[in-house]
């Protein structure tokens, strides 16, 4: 494995990296629709995933999705954030 330090959004990150990527959406769309959009965005960024876990907010206004991802480089990370931001109902990604 070749580890390469790159800068992403002002932070230095050693790629490849395994992250728990979190996407928060409002409750405009049902869970299945959000999962589909998130899965497509991940695949369009050139990444693979096994499972998308969901947690509903206490007041049921938001859905938080957590996905375990293996990101190889800064371009994949940038592409992922760009694609995720296009999801209808998107609120935040961390």
**Reported pTM:** 0.85
Q: Is residue 4's pLDDT more than 60?
A: no
Taking CA atoms, 21 is separated from 2, 59, 68, in Å, by 22, 23, 6
pLDDT value at residue 39: 97
Q: Is residue 3's pLDDT more than 70?
A: no
Which tens digits make up the pLDDT trace of 16-70? 999 999 999 999 999 999 999 999 999 999 999 999 999 999 999 999 999 999 9
Domains of the chain by residue range:
4-93
- CATH number, span 4-93: 3.30.70.260
Tokens of 48: 């693979």
pLDDT value at residue 21: 97
Taking CA atoms, 28 is separated from 2, 5, 67, 77, in Å, by 42, 38, 21, 26
């Amino acid at each position: 494995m070749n580890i390469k330090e790159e800068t992403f959004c002002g932070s230095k990150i050693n790629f490849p990296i395994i992250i728990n990527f979190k996407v928060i959406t409002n409750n405009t769309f049902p869970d299945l629709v959000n999962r589909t959009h998130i899965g497509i965005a991940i695949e369009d960024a050139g990444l693979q995933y096994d499972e998308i876990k969901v947690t509903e907010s206490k007041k049921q206004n938001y859905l938080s999705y957590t996905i375990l991802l293996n990101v190889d480089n800064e371009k994949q990370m940038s592409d992922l954030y760009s694609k995720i931001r296009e999801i209808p109902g998107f609120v935040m990604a961390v």
